[in-house]
Structure formats: C-alpha cells, structure tokens
Amino acid sequence: MVSDKELEAVEQIVNGVITDESLAEGDVLINCLHEIQNHFHNFVPLEAAEKVAEILKVPESSVYEVLTFYTMFSVEKRGKYVIRVCNSLPCHVTGGKEIIETLKKELGCDFSQTSKDGLFTLEETGCLGLCGVSPVIMINEEFYGNLTHDKVLDIINNIREEERG
C-alpha cells in the first residue's frame, strides 16, 4: 500500500514537472513517471500511477500501457540495484557473453528476475552507447566498463559488502 503521504509526494512531483517543463498538453507523462520511479526506488506502484492519471487527466489504462511498454519502467517491485547488461553485438564480440553468464550465475537469477536477497534485479538492454569501453553494464545510474569476469564479481561483492556494513 502506498500511504497518503507518499501520494502527496507524487502530486508534488507531477505538478513540479508540469510547471518546469510542459510546453503542450500531455507531453510530460514519461518525464513524470521517471521521477516517480526514482522516488519509489526502481518501480512505480499502481496507486501512484492512478494518481498521475488523475492529475494529468488521462485514462489509467494509458498510464499502465506506457509503464508496461517501456523497458526502463516497472510496476513490480525491483531490487535496490537494477543491473542492466548490454546484449548488443559490440559488447557481445568483446566478451559480453561471458559477462552475462557470470552475472546470471553469481546472482542466481535470469533476466527480469530479482536475486534471492532482494538486492539485485537483472535486466537485459540494448546498446548503452558506451561501446568505446565494452563490455558494459549499468547499475542504477552508474556505468561500469571494460568488464571481465573478475571485475564483475568485485563490483557485485563490493555492493554486497556496502549493504552489510
């Protein structure tokens, strides 16, 4: 359940985006959803989506359609860290295949799944535009490049340690 206080925060976010950025009617939906997703840490709860629909005066179904069409959004709770792995050819030919295997094995989950400890969600993505340092992954808003099997394990273990202590 999303509390009333949280719904108020949603309202503030949406109104803020409207004042800052709106040039025409309806053009701020995706920008709003990004901010709301950040607010709730990696997902958009359905109650929040309903609130957005109400403020922007669009059908709830349209907001849901947008949330489920775009891969960066999720209506399901995701791990605290969303790991996006590039599966495009420039990463693939420079060792990306191994990186994907390593991540799946280390996290014990497949794409679009969350690790048992609830910390990581693994997602595949198209090119992230960092082919100069391929293979690359993205963890939340951070990029990691020139990856190897060992580097990936280091990154994951560092995060785990940070979370523990």
Partner 1 sequence: MRMKIQTVLVSVDSSSALRGARQFKKHIEENVKKYQLSDMVEVLETGSLGVYKDGVIVAVYPEEVFYEINSTDDAEQLVTEHFLKGRIVKDLMIDKSVIKHEKKETGKLDREERIVLKNVGVIDPGAIEEYIARDGYMALAKVLKEMKPENVIDVVKKSNIRGRGGAGFPTGMKWEFTAKADNPEKYVICNADEGEPGTFKDRLIMEGDPHSVVEAMTIAAYAVGANKGYIYIRGEYYGSIDNIRKAIKDAYEIGLLGEDIMGSGFSFDLSVRLGAGAYICGEETALIESIEGRPGRPRLKPPYPPVEGLYGKPTVVNNVETFSNIPWIINNGPEAFKALGTEGSSGTKVFTLVGNIINRGLVEVPMGTSIFDLIYKYGGGIPNGKKLKIVQTGGTAGTFMNTKKLEIGLDYDSAKEGASLGSGVILCMDEDSCAVDCAKTVMEFFAHESCGKCTPCREGTRVSVKLLDKISKGQGREEEVEQLLMIADVMEQTSFCGLGQSAAIPLRTIVQSFRDEFSDHVQKKPCNACTFVEPKKKKRSKR
Residues in touch with partner 1 (CB under 8 A):
21-24, 26-31, 33-34, 56, 58, 62, 65-66, 69-73, 84, 87-90, 92-94, 97, 101, 124-134, 138, 141-146
Residue closer to partner 1, measured from CB, 142 or 161: 142
The label of the residue with tokens 């929040």 reads: 48
Least Cβ distance, residue 34 to partner 1 (angstroms) = 6
The structure tokens listed for 59 are 């059908």
Least Cβ distance, residue 31 to partner 1 (angstroms) = 6
Residues 20-33: b if buried by 16+ CB within 10 A, e if exposed: eeeeeeeebbebbb
Collapsing DSSP to helix, strand or coil, 19 comes out as: helix
Residue closer to partner 1, measured from CB, 41 or 97: 97
Residue closer to partner 1, measured from CB, 4 or 63: 63
Phi, psi of 20, deg, nearest 5: -75, -35
